[in-house]
């Protein structure tokens, strides 16, 4: 019983870390520009398909394909940002929702056209497979790897935001966009770079997600809801909030599936609605 609780906590935490990588970029960009980007998971899906193509078709090692998943998602997102998104920064929530949901539809259709509607296989290298046993408790190696990667990313993100000049600009723009403009910060530029980095992280998350949750053409839709829950519950523009919300969501989802399988996803939707009614700006949100 104790070991099953521990196993659920571990798997749930690893799953939560995955959700964190997928959603942290959206949280920061939403906090900065209030732009509702429902297509965030399309960039994640792109990263996933880049990794699948590189490892399966071209024989790249899995670890080497991860940076490329990051870079390609970041580059594509910048193109979208410059061509489409920037026209709608001052438009209503509804218009932003519609534009980005349109992009999700298109990306899902394109993925189905190129890759078909099956789950994509992925050959992990042997050193990431299997599990290690510590004190009679077995841990999946890949999940340990996932947790290590996400904690490293969190550390880098927090350090970059707290201690670099660019991070200071980002914080200023999230806190008060107009004031930041008034002080001579080029918010559009800061936003474009942040957007690219966030989408790149999503791409990386998409690549890392294949082993845990699988990858198919509908990924952009399926995980959109989870990512939105993390962002809305954690609070806009808050890395700590996203971290806590993603861990909570991952663990409660895993626990719900393990202990109350008949309830399905009912539990997490209920938790989300209840949390939002209690704190509409999220756990760590300020506005």
Residues that bind another protein (CB under 8 A): 30, 36, 84, 87-88, 91, 93-95, 97-99, 101-110, 112-113, 117, 217, 225, 228-229, 232, 236, 262-266, 269-270, 272-273, 276-277, 280-281
Please identify, using beta-carbon distances, which residue of 211 and 216 lies nearer to another protein.
216
Listed residue (95, 108, 109) closest to 37, CA to CA = 95
Q: What is the dihedral of CA 191, 74, 38, 228, to 10 degrees?
A: -90
Question: Residue 8 corresponds to which tokens in the numbers above?
Answer: 């659920």
Token representation of residue 166: 């660019």
Least distance between another protein and beta carbon 255 (Å): 16
Kindly give, in sequence order, each residue whose CB lies less than 8 Å from that of residue 55, ignoring residues fewer than 6 positions away: 61, 62, 65, 122, 123
Residues 6+ apart with CB under 8 A from 92: none
Complex with another protein: residue 58 or 118, whichever CB lies closer: 118
Task: Please give, one letter per residue, the 3-state secondary structure of 102-121.
Answer: HHHHHHHHHHHHHHCCCCCC
Closest CA to 219 of 70, 45, 25, 53: 45
Q: How far is the CB of 117 from another protein (least distance, A)?
A: 7
Closer to another protein by Cβ: residue 68 or 239 = 239
The pair phi, psi for residue 146, each rounded to 5°, is -60, -45
CB of 226 to another protein, least distance (A): 11
Smallest gap, in angstroms, from Cβ of residue 98 to another protein? 5
- Output 55 or 238, the one with its CB closest to another protein: 238
CA distance 274 to 97: 23
Characterise 215 by phi-psi region: left (phi > 0), alpha (psi -120 to 50), beta (else).
beta
CA atoms within 13 A on the CB side of 46: 25
Whole-number minimum distance, CB 266 to another protein, in Å?
4
* Residues 142, 162: Cα–Cα separation, whole Å: 30
**Shortest distance, position 120 Cβ to another protein, whole Å:** 16
140 versus 256: smaller Cβ distance to another protein: 256
166 or 260, CB closer to another protein? 260
Q: How far is the CB of 16 from another protein (least distance, A)?
A: 19
User: In this complex, which beta carbon is closest to another protein, that of residue 35 or of residue 62?
Assistant: 35
Question: To the nearest whole angstrom, how small is the minimum distance from the Cβ of residue 276 to another protein?
Answer: 6
Nearer of residues 70 and 195 to another protein, judged by Cβ = 195
């Amino acid at each position: 019983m104790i070991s099953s609780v521990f196993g659920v906590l571990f798997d749930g935490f690893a799953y939560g870390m995955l959700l964190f990588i997928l959603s942290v970029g959206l949280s920061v960009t939403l906090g900065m520009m209030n732009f509702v980007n429902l297509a965030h998971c399309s960039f994640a899906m792109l990263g996933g398909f880049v990794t699948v193509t590189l490892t399966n078709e071209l024989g790249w090692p899995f670890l080497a394909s991860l940076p490329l998943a990051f870079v390609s998602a970041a580059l594509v997102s910048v193109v979208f940002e410059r061509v489409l998104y920037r026209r709608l920064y001052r438009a209503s929530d509804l218009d932003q929702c519609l534009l980005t949901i349109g992009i999700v539809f298109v990306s899902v259709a394109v993925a189905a056209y190129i890759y078909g509607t099956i789950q994509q296989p992925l050959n992990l290298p042997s050193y990431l497979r299997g599990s290690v046993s510590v004190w009679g408790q077995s841990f999946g190696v890949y999940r340990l790897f996932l947790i290590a990667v996400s904690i490293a990313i969190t550390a880098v993100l927090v350090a970059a935001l707290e201690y670099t000049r660019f991070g200071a600009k980002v914080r200023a723009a999230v806190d008060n966009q107009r004031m930041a403009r008034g002080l001579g910060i080029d918010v559009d530029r800061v936003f474009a770079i942040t957007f690219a980095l966030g989408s790149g992280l999503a791409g990386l998350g998409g690549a890392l997600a294949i082993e845990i949750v699988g990858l198919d053409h509908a990924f952009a839709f399926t995980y959109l809801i989870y990512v939105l829950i993390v962002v809305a519950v954690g609070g806009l523009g808050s890395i700590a909030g996203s971290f806590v919300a993603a861990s909570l969501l991952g663990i409660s989802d895993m626990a719900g599936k393990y202990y109350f399988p008949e309830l399905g996803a009912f539990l997490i939707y209920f938790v989300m609605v209840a949390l939002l009614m209690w704190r509409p700006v999220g756990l760590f949100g300020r506005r």
